[in-house]
Amino acid sequence: MLDIRIERTNRPKELPGEDNPLVFGKIFTDHMFIMDYKDGKGWYDARIIPYQPISLEPSAMVFHYAQEMFEGLKAYKAKDGRILLFRPDMNAKRTNRTCKRLCMPEIPEDDFVQAIKELVNIDKAWIPTREGTSLYIRPFMIATSPFLGVRPSLTYMFMIILSPVGPYYPEGLNPVKIWIEDEYVRAVKGGIGEAKAGGNYVASLKAQVKAHEEGYSQVLWLDGVHRKYIEEVGAMNIFFKINGVVVTPELNGSILPGVTRDSVIRLCNEWGIKVEERKVSIDEISDAHKNGTLEEVFGTGTAAVISPVGHLRWEDDVMQIKDGGIGELSQRLYDNLTGIQLGEIPDIYNWTVEVR
């Protein structure tokens, strides 16, 4: 159990109104969680304080060698008033896998979840209630030692901030257009692709800008060695439904193991839909599209939950997936996952955790 000191703000901000579109990640709540770490001492001074700037030396290691990790999950307000988190233990476990890879200190899983619960509880008035809205939770850790030598930092800060967010697609589920990148790569096996690290995102920006210029909203990455096998969408994992079978790239060391990915596989298994986790080549997808067996493509991630893909562009080949709309399975998964997250469908998997 963490002993969390609480200092409440005496200048609460105005809550965003019901008609605020809640653009992703722009508004932050009244409070934040921080704790410090020192080599030899461990984690100390866990506190919830008013949301505010932090002070760091310009030589702090995070600025120079990017020793940084983050997580992302959501709190939902159920119709009956309960506040629900979705599988926060998975984020705690992933935090520690990421920290191991990045030579950062681990956090006991219970402490991680406790810190989230206490912070969300203090700022619960900020959880929006309109359909499709939620409170996005961003835990992250940075290296703070003032030192320009290349080695793991000796001191760290772990923080959690909260942001009320609107529906990912304001008009409801909406098919996206995806650019399959054949020049740049996001991650390679042996690198940090399976860690949730800011460094993976800076590697992805160039292709993201290129895709946007071409009118595509996201990039689908291929493996860094052969530029042949499909990896993921950078902030989402990817699924294909080919001839009735659901296929998704296996976790190979360069793909981020998504909580939503895991939940989708579980639901499909329960529903008797065959799921294969294996290598998927771009040629296989292109062939399936040509012969009419590519039935659905969708991305999975905390932000959008399920993101149906309407178009895929691979070099000069623009593939429209069926009628370019929302597939039956995509819709069913979206309805069930959001139903469980909002406490409207019985949670037979014990995925939700109540904040109180």
Ligand X SMILES: *Cc1c(COP(=O)(O)O)cnc(C)c1O
Binding footprint of ligand X on the chain (CB under 6 A): 72, 196, 200, 232, 234-237, 256, 258-261, 300-302
d(Cα 199, Cα 143) in Å, to the nearest integer?
A: 13
- Measured CA to CA in angstroms, residue 134 lies from 119, 211, 248 at distances of 15, 28, 27
Identify the bridge partners of residue 6 per DSSP, sorted by sequence position.
48
Nearer to ligand X, 142 or 235 (CB): 235
Per-residue b or e along 253-281, where b marks 16 or more CB atoms closer than 10 Å to that residue's CB: ebbbebbbbebbbebbeeeebebeeeebe
CB nearest ligand X: which residue?
Answer: 258
Nearer to ligand X, 30 or 191 (CB): 191
d(Cα 164, Cα 226) in Å, to the nearest integer?
A: 41
Helix pair angle (259-270, 328-341), 10° resolution: 110
Nearer to ligand X, 46 or 267 (CB): 267
Nearer to ligand X, 95 or 155 (CB): 95
Nearer to ligand X, 48 or 193 (CB): 193
Nearer to ligand X, 145 or 260 (CB): 260
The pairing of strands 134-143 and 68-70 is antiparallel
What is the CA angle 109-257-274, rounded to 5?
120
Smallest distance from ligand X to CB 261, Å: 6
Smallest distance from ligand X to CB 345, Å: 19
Q: Are 307 and 43 in contact (CB under 8 A)?
A: no
